[in-house]
Every structure is written in structure tokens, then in C-alpha cells.
Amino acid sequence: MTTTRHRVAARMIAALGALSLLAACSGNGGGGGSGGDASNYPDQNITFVVPFSAGGPTDTVTRLIAEPMAAKLGGKIVVQNVEGAGGTVGAGEVSRAEPDGYTVLMHHIGMSTAPALYKSLGFKPLEDFEMVGLVTEVPMTVVARKDFAPATFQDLVNHVKANASKVTLANAGIGAASHLCGLLFQTAAGVKLQEVPYAGTGPALTDLVGGQVDFMCDQTTNTSGQIAAGKVKAYAVTTPERVKSLPDLPTTAEAGLPQLQVSVWHGLYVPAGTPDEIVQKLSEALKVALADQAVIDQMAKLGTAPVPAEDATPQAHRAKLEEQLGTWAKVIADAGVKVS
């Protein structure tokens, strides 16, 4: 009898011990560390992944906001460049990262064009990410080698229509902002040009300045310095209003091609499943960074500006992405562009 009681008691103690262990594991995410604990976030370095090369416009914008965001969060942000396949390599890595707020993606308009461009993408923008907030919308400029014959934007349109087989249109690679703007230009002008893709904006602009290609469409963050130095000929900006840092450049609408309107918007993403509290902490830090006067001043030099505070939110970001996915799906389908 006594032996039986001892056996029952032993079994009860063992069972209680197992339940305690299970509860402990459940409380810390199955032993996965403290990453998902919003109250302690951040307690380690945060990695901002830029899916493009260092020194490019997306990289520049990321580094501008990283320091003030880190100061607000009370941690450290490390910027990592994971380039390849029009930004899809880096984006794919972030989509598969632990959803703990320590891996954050900065991406541009390419997030909304990738599903239409790539047959095998590996991630779904609306399903595999949580949106943190929009960052900035960068205007684009139509620029050419400085000895290119057309004097005005309307002259350029007329010239490329008359010389379509001879004119070369450069871009920074399939899916790059310059490629997308070039597609819109050709659609709006009703012409098909010889496109010359490069492995990034730097090489494309270098050849444009050197006179190896005729013209291209690219972000003010890339072209403002070249325009100011007189190394390229500038024709127009692709926004509804003129850009303050380039006041003499007409808009494409003023210059006679209102269908060509595009800006390169940037936003921050984290993997789907990241706790809401962590997403909100990142969003609040983003708002603080975008209100920082040093960030505002530096963006102004690049021909852009931070988005309003109400757009630096998950809700506004998701609405923008949804709208842009639909817009670019049609443009890319009409252009017949597809990447395997």
C-alpha cells in the first residue's frame, strides 16, 4: 500500500515537472530567445538589409535614417547590402528571417513590380511581410549625355520617335527604377528603343557621362550632382510639381508628356509574424528619424523629402503597396517584360 502511494506520488511529481518545463518553453517562444519580447526590444543589433549595392540611392536613404532610428530605439542598427536580381535576393532573405524585429528590409518601388516581372519570385509582398511605414518618394529625372542633340524635352520625344533604331536608353538593370521609368517613357511616347541594361546605377551614369549611351531616366538622388556639375543634360522631372533643388527643370506634364509620371517610393518591412508591438516601435522610430532636421536637410540636397508622419505607418504603407501592385502589373504586362 505504502509502495503504491510512493509510486503515485512520484508519477505526479514527474508530471508536474514536465508541465512546468512545457510552460517555460511556451513563455519564451519554444526556447527561441528573447527576440520576440517587445518589452526588451531591442536587446541586440538590428540589421537593415538594403537589397541593392552600397552607395546607391536606396542605400543612401537607409543610412540617413538608421542613426536617428537607432537613437530612438536605444540600440544599434547595422546596414547590410544584399544585392542581386533587382532587389529580390535581399527581399527574399528578409522574408525568411526570424520575425523578431532584428532583420528589417528597406525596399523601393521594386517591391510592387517584382511579382509582375519575375516568374519565380519566392515571396509574396503582401503575405510574407509586415509593413513598417513609408520613408520618402524620390522624383526622377530624364537626363542625357551633354552633347545629345535635342535641346528640350519635347525635342527629345520627337528625336527618339524619328530615330528609334539608333537611340540608346540606359538603365540600372531589369526591375531597377530607371528601367521602370524607361518603360513608362516608351509607352507614353509610343516608341520602342534600344535598351542598354547595366549592373547598377553607377556604371550606367558613368557611361552616360562618358557619352557611350544617349539618355536615361533616374532618381534625383543619383542625378542631382551630375546635373549641378554640368556633366549631363537634364530635360524634365517626372513628378506633378517641380523639384525645389532643380527649379529650372519642367515637369513632364509641362513639357508635353503628362503620362510619364513616376516617383520612387521607399518603405521599411519586417517578416510576416513580427509582433505588432515591435512593428509599432519601429514605426515610431521611423517617424522620429523623418522629423530629424539633419535628415530633412540631407534629403533636400538629394532632391527629395521625408513623407508626412501619417504615411510613415503600417496602414499607409500597406495601402500604397496594394495600389502600386495593381498599377505596375498592367504597365509591365503591356510592355511584355518578364524575367525568368
Q: pLDDT tens-digit profile of 60-116?
A: 999 999 999 999 999 999 999 998 888 899 999 999 999 999 999 999 999 999 999
pLDDT of residue 42 exceeding 50, the answer is yes
Which domains occur in the chain, in start order?
Answer: 45-138+263-335 (3.40.190.150), 139-255 (3.40.190.10)
CA within 13 Å, CB half, 244: 9
What are the contacts of 332-340 at 24+ separation with CB within 8 A? 332/113, 332/116, 332/117, 332/183, 333/116, 334/187, 335/183, 335/186, 335/187, 337/117, 337/174, 337/183, 338/117, 338/118, 338/119, 339/85, 339/86, 339/117, 339/118, 339/119, 339/174, 339/175, 340/119, 340/120
> Beta-carbon neighbour count of residue 78 at 10 Å?
11
pLDDT interval class at 1 (50, 70, 90): very low
Separation of alpha carbons 219 and 178, rounded Å: 7
Q: pLDDT tens-digit profile of 165-221?
A: 999 999 988 878 899 899 999 989 999 999 999 988 889 999 999 999 999 999 998
